[in-house]
Amino acid sequence: MPGLPQPRTPGRYRIALVCLGNICRSPMADVVLSARIADAGLDDRVEVASSGTGGWHVGDPMDRRAAATLAAAGYDPSRHRAQQYDDSWLGAFDLVLAMDDSNLSDISVGGIGGGDDRVRLFRDFDPVDTGGEVPDPYYGGPAGFEEVLTMVERTAATIVAELHRLPGVGVAVR
């Protein structure tokens, strides 16, 4: 499993999560990862944002089934509003994590993000299926959203552990 790239700004870290429409997978990951970062006491140094490669849902709240799954697990999904990814995120974020290979390809078009260790799959940090895709639950039932939540929670735990290892972010520089 690869480590996190170094921060662009010492003492700060920015993570972007990207899916197709920014109403299911990436906002679920955003809410969970943000909560885990806050629980770890890193929320004053680490920022998380999510977006979709398509603009169909810009300004909309997350899918009601995604929100219900998060709320049932004790998370607050209410603040999310969909936004669209744009190439400026590659230079603004320390790490850009795509939910599946198609999303990864979309943000790597023309080599913009291709080969950059700052652009990866979200599940590159999943201890169970490293490098797998987060399946899109949009056209399925509640079980798909539960499956995504399970993947997101264990992957978020690994990302937070990696953040703790970054000098100036998770580890005090002496």
Phi and psi at 97, nearest 5°, equal -115, 120
Active site residue 12: no
Amino acid, res. 38: A
CA distance 63 to 27: 9
How many other CB atoms are found less than 10 A from the CB of residue 113? 21
- Three-state DSSP class for residue 23: coil
Active site residue 24: no
Catalytic residue among 8, 12, 19, 30: 19
CA distance 129 to 54: 27
Catalytic residue among 24, 25, 94, 123: 25
In 3D space, the residue among 152, 151, 136, 155 whose CA is nearest the CA of residue 4 turns out to be 155
Active site residue 94: no
Catalytic residue among 100, 124, 126, 136: 136
Catalytically active residues are 19, 25, 136
